[in-house]
Amino acid sequence: MAGSQPLAKTPDWSMLPPELLQIIARKLPDISDFVKFRAVCTTWRSSACVSDPPPQLPWFLEEAGFLLEEAGYFKSNLHFYSLFSGKIHTIHSPNSSGNRVRGPGHDYIVLYNAASCQISLLNPLTGRKVVLPFLDIAIAGLQPIWVGPDPIESGEPVVFSGYSADFKTGILAFYQPVAREWVVIKEPCSCSLRCHYFNGMYYVNEDENEDTKVIDIVTRKVVHVVPPPTEDDYECDGIMRKTYLVQSGGDILLVVFHYDELLEMADCHFHIFRLDLRSGNGGKPRWVKISSIGDQILFLDENNGFSLSCRDFSGFRGNSIYFIKRHQDMHDRSLSLLCRYDIEEARVEPLNCPFVKGGTWIVPSLR
């Protein structure tokens, strides 16, 4: 027909340069978008390698039932909340059924079977399960305090803590993937909930006097004992507090959460201290109060946490903390809110996560 325009050609997206595809793939901070990207065609899949994924924002894994006998025991479906998209992802995971699921972790979460005392690592996205050698010691309150990125392939240790059966001795269990063996350290203290591991050192907060012991994993000796911050540093009149030990940007931080389940959001706040082992205060190590953690973001569950840099995630601000705030409902059940704390403004904001049973964090991975 005279004057008709030729039909525009549909672009062949598979012909995009590999260099451009790699740039695009590296800017997908939610693993679900990364999976969809790889599913477009063979060219896109080869440009987005699962062994070198883009930095991922953590997903929040929902805890199990409200009842005491159900708490922590998972069935075959795991439910995750994505900070980036605000969506819920449900993953069928038969390996998790009947186990207690523990975190936080990178790539893997920890499965603990109370009947057999079997400890395993599970990547919930790929379904890969790694059964660890039997730990020939009874540990009450088993809790992972460090599950780093891809521990099986990288050889990074997996670190657990807990108590002896009489709750008089703290137990630190260090699994070495390369040697496939455990190193166990026992300390006459309660150290299950406030521990951390970083660069060959255990950091253990004692319940009784709140000192922090620094233990060399090789020699198994205490190399430093750090007294707690003074009460003047806390400024927490009448408010309960919970403490965390977290590695952030190469520093060990003592993060103190001041809260009450009956208080409003505005009345909850954090104080943060950096461990100074080379202190000018007579050469004694100490905790130094800080007002900023720079571009770092802390992700805390009920007991432990980890840190990531906001530079890897456009639209997410650093100097902040994602955490769980407990409160009581009309049935006297303890419910959970997922919240963000702006350190500079000392302000708490609730997030739109629908999970109210609590949970933990995992950095998802296809490795």
Check residue 270 and give its pLDDT: 92
Q: Quick check: 281 and 298 in contact, CB under 8 A?
A: no
Same domain, 48 and 118: no
- Decide if 260 is inside a domain: yes
* Spatial CA neighbour of 97 closest among 70, 120, 74, 72: 74
Check residue 362 and give its pLDDT: 94
Same domain, 83 and 220: yes
- Decide if 190 is inside a domain: yes
- Decide if 5 is inside a domain: no
CA quadruple 296, 297, 300, 305: dihedral sign: negative
Check residue 162 and give its pLDDT: 83
At 251-286, the pLDDT tens digits run: 999 999 987 766 666 678 899 999 998 765 567 899
Check residue 66 and give its pLDDT: 47
At 233-253, the pLDDT tens digits run: 666 555 677 889 999 999 999
Check residue 332 and give its pLDDT: 63
- Decide if 9 is inside a domain: no
* d(C-alpha 165, C-alpha 159), whole Å: 19
Same domain, 194 and 49: no
Enumerate the β-bridge partners of residue 172.
Answer: 161, 185
Check residue 268 and give its pLDDT: 83
Same domain, 120 and 238: yes
Check residue 261 and give its pLDDT: 63
* d(C-alpha 270, C-alpha 356), whole Å: 22
- Decide if 4 is inside a domain: no
Q: Quick check: 202 and 178 in contact, CB under 8 A?
A: no
**Which residues form the domain of 19?**
14-54
- Decide if 2 is inside a domain: no
The number of folded domains in the chain is 2
Same domain, 188 and 258: yes
Same domain, 349 and 220: yes
CA quadruple 198, 200, 206, 207: dihedral sign: positive
- Decide if 7 is inside a domain: no
Check residue 294 and give its pLDDT: 96
Check residue 279 and give its pLDDT: 63
Centre a 10 Å sphere on the Cβ of residue 236 and count the other Cβ atoms it contains: 15
* d(C-alpha 300, C-alpha 306), whole Å: 7
CATH code where residue 273 lies: 2.120.10.80
* Separation of first and last alpha carbons in the chain: 56
Same domain, 116 and 86: yes
Residue 280: phi and psi, rounded to 5, are -80, 0
Per residue of the chain (367 residues), give pLDDT as tens.
Answer: 555 566 566 777 778 888 898 888 888 888 888 888 888 888 888 888 887 788 899 999 988 754 444 555 667 788 999 998 899 999 988 888 878 888 899 999 999 887 888 899 999 999 999 999 998 887 777 888 889 888 888 888 898 888 887 777 888 888 988 888 898 888 766 554 578 889 888 898 876 678 898 988 888 888 999 999 876 666 655 567 788 999 999 999 999 998 776 666 667 889 999 999 876 556 789 999 999 999 999 999 988 999 999 998 888 999 999 998 877 666 666 778 899 999 999 999 999 888 888 889 999 998 8
Same domain, 50 and 71: no
Same domain, 63 and 125: yes
Same domain, 171 and 36: no
- Decide if 96 is inside a domain: yes
Same domain, 20 and 79: no
Same domain, 18 and 67: no
Check residue 340 and give its pLDDT: 94
